[in-house]
Each structure stands twice: as C-alpha cells, then as structure tokens.
Chain A
Amino acid sequence: MKLCARGVRIDFWNERIKRNLRVLDCIDLDVREGELLAIVGPSGCGKSTFLGAVDGLVKTGAGDIRVDGVSVDKPGADRAMVFQQDSLFPWRTVMRNISYGLELQGRMARAEIRDRAASLVELVGLKGFGEHYPHELSGGMRQRVNIARALATDPKLLLLDEPFAALDAQTREFMQVELMKILARAKKTALFITHQIDEAVFLADRVAVFSARPARIKAIVDVDLPGQRTLESKLQPRFRDLQERIWRLIEEEAERTGLMTSTVGA
C-alpha cells in the first residue's frame, strides 16, 4: 500500500457556533502503488481537509496516516500537492516556479535544478514558455505548470485538489487526457479530488465517495473499464453506468443532509 489511512478524524473550531465542528469522522482509505484514486463527495464535506492531512498541512485529531508505512506529521518530499486555486508565484518564471521545491530542499546544484525544471517544462508540453511569467499564460497552461511544480521534487504520492475546476469544459477535457499521459510517463501514485464525476471515472482506477460532513467513506467504486481510455470511453455504456452509480451515491448524501431536494439525472 502506498497510502494507508486509518480512523482519521479532524475537528475544526467553528467561530460562528463557538464549538468544534467534526469534519472527518473515522476515514479508512488505502491507495495502492501506482493507482489513481479519485475522491468525490458533497461540497464542504471535508475532501480538501483530508488531502491537507495527507500532505501534512492539517493536523489530525485521531487516527493514523501512513505513506509507505511511515506516519505523516508534517509535509515531506515524498508527497506533493497541486492546489485547488492555481497558486503559482507571480514573481517567478515558469522555470523557477517549477524548481521552487528543489530550491527549498537545497540538495541539488543549480545547473541540475535547471535541467530538471527544463525537462518538466517539456513533459507538461510547455516547451518555449520556460521564461514566461504566470500572468502571461492561459488558465490551462498555468495548471500544467502547477502540476509540473508538484512533480519536480519527484514525490511518490501526488495529491491533486480539483486541479481543473477553474478551467472551461473544453480545456478541462483536454487536460484530463494530458494528466493521464503525464502520470503514466512519470509513473506516479495519485490522489485526486474532483467535483466532475465523469472526470473521476475517466481518470481513476477507483473512486472513493465521501459522505456528507462529518465525512466517512460511503463507498469505493472500482472503475473496471476495459482497454485504453480515450475521450471516446466517456460514450461507452459502462462508463455511463459507473457515472450514474456514483452520482446516486452523492445524491443520497446530499438529500440526507437536505442540501438537495429535487432529483436530477447524471
């Protein structure tokens, strides 16, 4: 197992109601070596919080998170996060954004860092844009840099928090295919949060459905699509079945907590 989470509980102090709010309630989750596991669930249920805990940014109240058998208590080089908002440093060029993690580690020589950043620029298909600043790039390009920055430190586990949420539908589909290629080339294990069920089914080997807050794992759905996945896969009946099933699971949660009353198809 790459990631092993057992009984993870997280409470946040809520200033408005003046008491602790349980966000995660006993999360058990395993991520296998080399797999891409997608997390879906109602908005505000605690998905980002869980990812933050795996990254070591958020302290757990109870339970244990292990990456390669080692307990997580602070951020480490074996994990890297691609954040929900594209949070590239506006004062750094593409190259220097990508090399940020390596610069902090201070283990590699400058020339070595440059070479690695340059190869990542190529990997994410941004050749020729290395010396551009983020504000000179499109949204899709910025998210590529965001992903490259996380890949630069060669993490064993990649954490992606809705990386394509801010993109338009067309760019998003394109980036889904790109991410699949990039991850295959880089041979990474990844944990991926998304609100798009089709994105989850398309990219993931398994999809974990979080319940409404306080979140537990409601179900884990195996994505057993035959053959190579392409955008056409989204048209297969099997793909639609899976999408439908996951949608119903989320809908149940939303209805249970009164977030949604009407029934909408997938």
Chain B
Amino acid sequence: MTSVTNDLVVADVQGGPSRSLWARHENMLLGLLAVAAFMLFWEFSVVFGWVNPLFTSSPTRIVAAGAAMVRDGSIWNDLAVSGLEFALGYGLAVIVGVPLGILMGWYRRFNALLEPFVNALYATPRIALMPLIIIWFGVDLSSKIAIIFLSTVFPILVNTMTGVRTIDRDFIKVARSFGASDGQLFTTVALPSSVPNLLTGLRLGLGHALIGIVVGEMYGASAGIGYMMQTAGATFQTDRVMVGILIIAAAGMALTQVLRIIENRFEGWRVDHRG
C-alpha cells in the first residue's frame, strides 16, 4: 500500500465529530499554506532586490493597484462591460447551441447538413476569426459578443449532440415496449439522458468564453477587463495587468465551480452509473 492510500485510510478512520479543524480541512489548509508561502517568497524576492518589480510586480503592489482602481472607480466600469459581454455572448451560445445540438443529435439529416460547418468551425481556433469579426461588427460591444458566442457555442453544441446521440439502446427498447411515440421517446429518454453531457458542455464553454472576453477586448475596445490589461501592459503597469489576470482567474474558477456542483447533482443520471 502506498503512503497516499494510507493517508486516505487513516483520514477515513478518523472521521467523526471529534476531528480537529486541521484534520477536517487538511487538503484545503495545505493548499492555502502553499499559496501563502509562494506569496511571501514573491514579496521578499522584490524586497531583497532579487527581481525587478517592474516585471514581476509583487503581492502588495497588486493589492495597492487593485485598491487604487476601486478608489477611482475605473474597475467597476471595466467589470460591468466585460460582465455584460460575457452574459450576452454566453447566453446567446446556450440559446443557440443547446437546441441545435439536440436537433443535430436527433435528426440524422439535419446533422448531415450542418456537420461540415460545425466541424470546420470547431477545428478553427476562434481567435483566427477575430479580424473578420472586427470588419463585420466594428470594435464595440457586438464584436465581443460575437467572439464570445463563437468561442462558446461549439463546445456546448457538440457535447449536447453527443449526449443526445449516445442514448443507450436498452432505453429505446424499454420506451418502445411501453408504446412510446417518437415524440415521447425524445422527451422521456433522449432529453434526460443528454443532461449530464449538456452540463459538461456548459462548463467547457465557460473557459472558452473567458478567452473570448480577453482576446476580444485586446483586439480593440474602449473598456473591459481585457482592455484594461492591454493598455496597462502597453505602458508597463505590471501591477494592473496582474489585477486583471487575478479577476479573470477568479471568475473562471467561481463559475466553473458552480457548474461542477450542478453537474455533480446530475451525476446519478449518467447511464454508466447504473449498477
């Protein structure tokens, strides 16, 4: 038995109300400890002059830069702009991607018609489309929505489609045996069995949406987190760039976590979780 499994066994045996704070949250506390150690090291590297803060920034500088941005109020506008772009782009991708994925998964002919386009666009790095998007939509809100939409819609569509298409044949037999019509087969078997895949698609789409925000705003914008990072970077304001990175990372982690929790709730729906 390796030491890892040993630890797990021990942690299990120790379970119960009497466990100490440390024992209950050991993994999280270890993680926090590592992050804290890294921050200290980073800070002192600057203090002792081992690295140039112009390039590396430092935790206290990032906090100071963030506080200044909150004080002058600029951060709120950037957050609001990026948030709106995300909500509209991602929302549109869900509204379009889920129904299209369902239809493509269900109707063979519909799939045959759209598959070449989906495959081609899914395989193309969406950033490559950015110049076209700027030509078509300009540099205002609509071009950001477009790039976020294009980044997000394919992972959502493809996963939903896979979910609908990979229905267990046994379930189809059961439904038919109970006299299900095509419509009933769709609503009582195809839709529910595709939910876990659909949620996975939504989660994967999130990451793509965040990339879309940053790339879209760097290409040409007048506000937003990505725009702020772009202008700060161009003027060597490393501290402000770091603030932007932290915001994007935090948003990504938080949103992914929310979807992961929802996904876990539907874990039992996965067909391979039978017996």
Enumerate chain A interface residues (CB-CB to B < 8 A). Answer: 55-57, 74-77, 80-81, 83, 85-92, 100-101, 103-105, 133-136, 139, 142, 153, 166
A123 to B27: give the CA distance in the assembly, Å: 47
Known A105-B179, A134-B275; further 6 A-B contacts with Cβ < 8 A: A83-B177, A87-B171, A90-B268, A100-B188, A104-B175, A136-B268
Q: Which residue of B lies closest to A85 (CB)?
A: B170
Closest CB in chain B relative to A157 CB, distance in Å: 12
Expressed in whole angstroms, the minimum distance between the Cβ of B157 and any Cβ of chain A is: 22
Beta-carbon contact of B179 and A104 below 8 Å:
yes
List the 3 closest pairs (A to B, CB-CB), nearest first. A87-B170, A91-B192, A101-B178
B269 to chain A, nearest CB (A): 4
**B150 at the A interface (CB under 8 A):** no
- B108 on interface, CB distance cutoff 8 Å: no
A133 touches B177 (CB 8 A): no
Q: Which listed residue, B171, B173, B178, B271, touches A153 by the CB 8 Å rule?
A: B178
- Give, as a whole number of angstroms, the nearest-CB distance from B172 to chain A: 10
Q: Can you name 23 A-B residue pairings with CB atoms under 8 Å?
A: A57-B173, A75-B178, A75-B179, A76-B179, A80-B177, A83-B173, A83-B177, A86-B275, A87-B168, A87-B173, A89-B171, A89-B192, A90-B274, A91-B195, A91-B268, A91-B269, A103-B188, A104-B184, A135-B268, A135-B275, A136-B268, A139-B275, A153-B178
Interface digits, B186-225 against A, CB 8 Å rule (1 contact, 0 not)?
0011001101000000000000000000000000000000
CB nearest neighbor in B for A142: B275
* B274 x A88 contact (CB < 8 A): yes
B79 at the interface (CB under 8 A from A): no
A76: chain B residues at CB < 8 Å are 179
C-alpha spacing A55/B269, complex, angstroms: 27
* A145, chain B: closest CB distance, angstroms: 12
Q: Which residues of B contact A88 (CB under 8 A)?
A: 274
Closest to B184 in A: A104
Residues of chain A lying within 8 A (CB to CB) of residue B171: 87, 89
Over the window 48-63 of chain B, the binary record of Cβ atoms lying under 8 Å from chain A Cβ atoms (1 yes, 0 no) is 0000000000000000
> Any chain A CB within 8 A of the CB of B130?
no
Taken together as a complex, chains A and B put the C-alpha atoms of A153 and B273 apart, in Å, by: 27
Known: A90-B271, A90-B273. A75 touches B176 (CB 8 A): yes
Contacts of B19 in A (CB 8 A): none
CB <8 Å contact, B274 and A81: no
CA gap between A85 and B171 in the complex, in Å: 10
Residues of A within 8 A of B274 (CB): 86, 88, 90, 134-135
Report the bound CA distance from A52 to B63 in whole Å: 70
**A88: shortest Cβ distance to chain B, in Å?**
7
Shortest CB distance B1–A (Å): 29
In the complex, which residues of chain B have a beta carbon less than 8 angstroms from the beta carbon of A103?
A: 188
Q: Given the complex, which residues of A lie within 8 Å of B193, measured CB to CB?
A: 91
Would A55 and B275 be within 8 Å (CB), given that A100-B188, A133-B268 are in contact? no
Alpha-carbon gap, A92 to B178, bound state (A): 16
Name which residue of chain B comes closest to A146, CB basis. Answer: B174
Whether a CB of chain A sits under 8 angstroms from the CB of B270 is yes
CB distance from A189 to the nearest CB of B (A): 17
**Looking at the complex, which one of A57, A89, A92, A166 makes contact with B275 (CB distance below 8 Å)?**
A166
B178 close to A100 (CB less than 8 A) = yes
A57 and B273 contacting across the interface, CB-CB below 8 Å: no
Q: Which residue of B is nearest A97, CB measured?
A: B174
Q: B143-186: which residues lie under 8 A (CB-CB) from chain A? A: 168, 170-171, 173-180, 184
Nearest-Cβ distance from residue A167 to partner chain B, whole angstroms: 10
**Residue numbers in A under 8 Å from B273 (CB-CB):** 90, 135
Complex Cα gap A134–B171 (Å): 14
- B-chain residues with CB within 8 Å of residue A100 when the two chains form the complex: 174, 178, 188
Which A-chain residue is minimally distant from B177 (CB atoms)?
A81
Q: How far is the CA of A75 from the CA of B177 in the complex (A)?
A: 5
Least CB distance from A149 to B in Å reads 8
Cα A80 to Cα B176 with chains together (Å): 11
Task: Give the complex CA separation of A57 and B179 in angstroms.
Answer: 10
Task: Give every chain A residue within 8 A of B266 (Cβ-Cβ).
Answer: 91
Which of A75, A86, A90 has the most chain B CB atoms closer than 10 A to its own CB?
A: A90
Set of chain B residues within 8 Å of A81, measured between Cβ atoms: 174, 177
A191 smallest CB distance to B (angstroms) = 14
How far does the Cβ of B233 sit from chain A's closest Cβ, in whole Å?
A: 48
Determine the chain B residues whose CB is within 8 A of the CB of A77 once the complex forms.
179
